[in-house]
């Protein structure tokens, strides 16, 4: 039989990436099919590569319907939505888009940290409500000189730390193992890190390995003067425990770019000025999304033309 030539797109992607895929490869769009099962039965055997987002991944039933699939290309650095072990067992290669989004995610983490501690978004709402004319605004927490704990010292965690060095903060981190050659203090557990730090910045990967890592215990260790910043995945935090800690003021505040069940945001958080709520936008700049789209396309194209990926996952 002819080698498979079809590219399967699983979800809407950046328009420029979609255009490039459509122009240069025979691309079919699964998310636009009214009957996915029938569509996969007909086109599945011709699919050589799948292109998807970090959010959608390639579900098991789709992977199983693609007998000659050779590569899964993710738009995004996270890929926990795809069962990589299952793919590997079949000899399917997997790529993501590391590095190109590190700056923007780290920039946003620092911005969100300053926002929640200095109450910027809440102050903006206060001005817009016309309250400046009447009452004083509550005092905020100082950022410079604080102790920041980074949970997960990978590419993004390190970029957050580097930026925060400019604020004269003390920096500690926790990750599975100590990282060689960094000047920051290693904490042996997430709880020990939260205990020591004024602010906990979550920058781990998602998936089963980190599920619920920021537990009730960790939030208690962070304490009533402590802040949480999450630019990783909602799954890393025990969200009901976080909502309880925030509503009962057992932690001082949180800046959240990610949630357990996006785009659902827990209702009790909507009325809290101690929380900054963001719609998963850490990588969402024109420059970074274009770079992610280009890297995703380079992976796809290299696989289709040379049989290998540019940035395979570790
Ligand atoms: C999303 C992200 O990928 O890269 C990641 O892992 O979470 C984001 O950059 C983006 O929303 C596209 O799915």
CA angle, residues 101, 104, 106, in degrees to nearest 5: 105
What's the confidence (pLDDT) of residue 134? 86
CA-wise closest residue to 276 among 38, 132, 116: 116
Which residues are annotated as catalytic?
Answer: 233, 262, 280
**Residue 201 near residue 157, CB atoms below 8 Å:** yes
What's the confidence (pLDDT) of residue 248? 98
**Cα 134 to middle of ligand 1, angstroms:** 42
Set out the domains of the chain in order of their start, with CATH numbers. Answer: 6-100+287-306 (3.40.50.720), 102-277 (3.40.50.720)
Residue length, the chain? Answer: 314
Q: How far apart are CA 76 and CA 289, in angstroms?
A: 9
What's the confidence (pLDDT) of residue 3? 84
What's the confidence (pLDDT) of residue 1? 67
Backbone angles phi, psi at 153, to 5 degrees: -105, 60
CA distances, 203 to each of 36, 73, 77 (Å): 35, 22, 12
What's the confidence (pLDDT) of residue 202? 99
Q: Is 105 in the pocket of ligand 1 (CB under 6 A)?
A: no
Q: Is 57 in the pocket of ligand 1 (CB under 6 A)?
A: no
Q: How far apart are CA 177 and CA 66, in angstroms?
A: 37
**Cα 105 to middle of ligand 1, angstroms:** 10
The answer to whether ipTM exceeds 0.90 is yes
Q: How far apart are CA 201 and CA 8, in angstroms?
A: 36
Element (H, E) at 149: strand 147-151
Q: How far apart are CA 209 and CA 190, in angstroms?
A: 13
Q: What sign does the CA torsion over 76, 274, 265, 279 have?
A: negative
**Cα 102 to middle of ligand 1, angstroms:** 11
The set of residues, in sequence order, having a beta carbon less than 8 Å from that of 260 and lying 6+ positions away, is 234, 235, 237, 239
CA-wise closest residue to 58 among 39, 73, 45: 73
Which residue puts its alpha carbon closest to atom 5 of ligand 1? Answer: 76
The atom number, within ligand 1, closest to the CA of 96 reads 4
Residue 42 C-alpha from the chain's centroid: 34
CA-wise closest residue to 114 among 230, 243, 255, 282: 255
Q: Is 96 in the pocket of ligand 1 (CB under 6 A)?
A: no
Per residue of the chain (314 residues), what is the pLDDT tens digit?
Answer: 678 899 999 999 999 999 999 999 999 999 999 999 999 999 999 999 999 999 999 999 999 999 999 999 999 999 999 999 999 999 999 999 999 999 999 999 999 999 999 999 999 999 999 999 987 889 999 999 999 999 999 999 999 999 999 999 999 999 999 999 999 999 999 999 999 999 999 999 999 999 999 999 999 999 999 999 999 999 999 999 999 999 999 999 999 999 999 999 999 999 999 999 999 999 999 999 999 999 999 999 999 999 999 999 99
Q: Is 77 in the pocket of ligand 1 (CB under 6 A)?
A: yes
CA-wise closest residue to 185 among 169, 172, 168: 172
**Cα 59 to middle of ligand 1, angstroms:** 17
Q: What is the pTM of this model?
A: 0.97
Q: Is 78 in the pocket of ligand 1 (CB under 6 A)?
A: yes
- In a mutational test of the pocket of ligand 1, which residue from 72, 75, 281 has the highest number of ligand atoms less than 8 Å from its CB? 75
Burial 208-247 (b: 16+ CB within 10 A, else e): eebeebbbeebbbbbeeebbbbbbbbbbbbbbebbbebbe
Strand partners, 71: 49, 93
């Amino acid at each position: 039989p002819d080698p498979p030539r079809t590219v399967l797109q699983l979800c809407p992607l950046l328009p420029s990436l979609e255009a490039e895929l459509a122009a240069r490869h025979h691309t079919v769009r699964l998310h636009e099919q009214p009957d996915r099962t029938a569509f996969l039965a007909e086109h599945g055997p011709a699919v050589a590569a799948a292109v998807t987002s970090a959010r959608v991944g390639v579900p098991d039933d789709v992977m199983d319907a693609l007998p000659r699939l050779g590569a899964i290309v993710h738009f995004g650095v996270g890929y926990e939505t795809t069962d990589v072990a299952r793919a590997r067992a079949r000899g399917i290669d997997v790529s993501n888009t590391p590095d190109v989004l590190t700056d923007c995610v780290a920039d946003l983490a620092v911005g969100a940290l300053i926002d929640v501690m200095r109450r910027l978004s809440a102050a903006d709402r206060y001005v817009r409500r016309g309250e400046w004319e009447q009452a004083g605004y509550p005092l905020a927490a100082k950022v410079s000189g604080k102790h920041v704990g980074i949970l997960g010292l990978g590419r993004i965690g390190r970029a957050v730390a580097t930026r925060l060095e400019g604020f004269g903060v003390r920096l500690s981190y926790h990750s599975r193992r100590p990282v060689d050659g960094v000047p920051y203090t290693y904490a042996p557990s997430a709880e020990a890190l939260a205990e020591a730090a004024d602010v906990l910045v979550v920058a781990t990967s998602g998936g089963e390995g980190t599920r619920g890592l920021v537990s009730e215990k960790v939030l208690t260790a962070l304490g009533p003067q402590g802040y949480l910043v999450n630019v990783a995945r909602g799954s890393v935090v025990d969200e009901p425990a976080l909502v309880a800690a925030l509503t009962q003021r057992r932690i001082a505040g949180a800046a959240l770019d990610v949630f357990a069940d996006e785009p659902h945001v827990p209702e009790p958080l909507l009325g809290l000025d101690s929380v900054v709520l963001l719609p998963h936008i850490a990588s969402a700049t024109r420059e970074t999304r274009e770079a992610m789209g280009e890297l995703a396309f380079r992976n796809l194209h290299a696989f289709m033309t040379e049989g290998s990926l540019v940035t395979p996952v570790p």
